[in-house]
Structure 1
Amino acid sequence: MAQIIFLTGGARSGKSRLAEELATRRGTPLGYLATGSAGDGEMAERIARHRERRGDAWTTIEEPLALAESLAAHDGRFAAILVDCVTLWLSNLLFSLDDPARVLKEVELLTRTFSSLRTPLIIVSNEVGMGIVPENRLARQFRDLAGEANERIAAAADEVYVTFSGLPLRLK
């Protein structure tokens, strides 16, 4: 079984940078499983900057929905695979499936996949539950879903980190 590392934290907290650093320690080639897509110009620019920063050692795999299946399909091809990020994946699933219970079944499928992987896996997610209670139903539903998904992934991971202001704190 491969090592599973889970990183969470707020927006711009340094979690993706830490995840990339942890992955590069494994050698090359590296897989970057991107769950986001360029829905607008700003996001397209952001994706381009991230790809440029990572460089040629990384192969980008874009998969907005079928995360467990994609990990299984690419297992063994890389020194490590980085998934960035769970919260975008959850958003994609929630809009696609329109049912938090079905989304959590996808999270279960993902965590069950961990035991069969040979490739070390580093997973990035946002911590969205440390603020105020959102004012609308969909935002509350997403906040709760992200919290539950993060909890399940953290429980299944070998190592768990949270980042604050660029500083990582190992929790597990």
Structure 2
Amino acid sequence: MPSLATSLVLGGARSGKSRHAERLVAASGCERVYVATAAPGDSEMADRIARHRAERGAGWLTIEEELDLAGALVREARPGRAVLVDCLTLWLSNLMVAGRDPEAASAELCGLLPGLPCPVVLVSNELGMGLVPETPLGRRFRDAQGRLNQAVAAAVPNVIFVAAGLPLTLKQAGEPGAGSFA
């Protein structure tokens, strides 16, 4: 069975990051758990969620969790499983809309990751490569996403950036700089 370490998979919208993350989890040979953070707020989003579920196919246990990601990981992470979280960007948006503290939630998540009994693959959008958002809310969100991505990248042994469907390893377990940072 191929070895899978906890990983962060970053990329832009429609970059192929989710598909790459799904392949990593599927190749592990472990029981596959998909933690979905999207909320079907309108019919287009509901259709998108249904399409993603159909594309994944059978063999995935899907858990929907919009806010309590740390709680979902505590409940679902166990030996013999590999958990995919898709995605941190929607989770952050959900937290901000709900008036939750994203810094506290991020710290809780990052503190939890190294001690989980199975690998977790977290998907997130890289928002810092585009234009500066026009609104204060947009700038707060972009900044919070950047801080979240940095914190998760520091807490996991593997970080992969995906562009045009092509993965680029930024950090790999066993290499200098890999692992957990305080």
For normalisation by structure 2, the TM-score amounts to 0.89
Aligned match of 2:138: 139
Aligned match of 2:61: 59
Matched residue count:
168
Letter in structure 2 aligned against 1:37? A
Q: In 2, are the aligned partners of 1:6 and 1:123 still within 8 Å (CA)?
A: yes
Q: Which aligned segments of 4 or more residues in structure 1 are displaced greater than 2 angstroms?
A: none
Give secondary structure in 2 for the equivalent of 1:97.
coil
Letter in structure 2 aligned against 1:96? A
More divergent stretch after superposition (13-22 vs 128-137): 128-137
Structure 1 vs Structure 2: percent identity of aligned residues?
48
Match of 1:44 among 46, 50, 57: 46
**In structure 2, what is the Cα distance between the partners aligned to 1:155 and 1:147?**
12
Give secondary structure in 2 for the equivalent of 1:133.
coil
1:81 aligns with 2:87: no
- More contact order relative to length (CA 8 Å, sep ≥ 6): 1
Aligned match of 1:152: 151
Q: In 2, are the aligned partners of 1:5 and 1:122 still within 8 Å (CA)?
A: yes
Q: In 2, are the aligned partners of 1:31 and 1:78 still within 8 Å (CA)?
A: no
Match of 2:95 among 65, 84, 93: 93
Deviations 1:37-75 (A, max 9, x none): 111111111111111111121011000000011100111
Would you tell me which structure has more helix in proportion to its own residues?
1
Aligned match of 2:176: none
Structure 2 unaligned regions, length at least 5: 172-182
CA RMSD in angstroms comes to: 1.3
Aligned CA distance change for structure 1 residues 120 and 90 (closer, same or farther; 3 Å)? same
**In structure 1, what is the Cα distance between the partners aligned to 2:37 and 2:118?**
18
1:116, distance to aligned residue in structure 2 (A): 2.0
1:29, distance to aligned residue in structure 2 (A): 2.3
Letter in structure 1 aligned against 2:25? A
Aligned match of 2:33: 31
Letter in structure 2 aligned against 1:103? P
1:16 aligns with 2:15: no
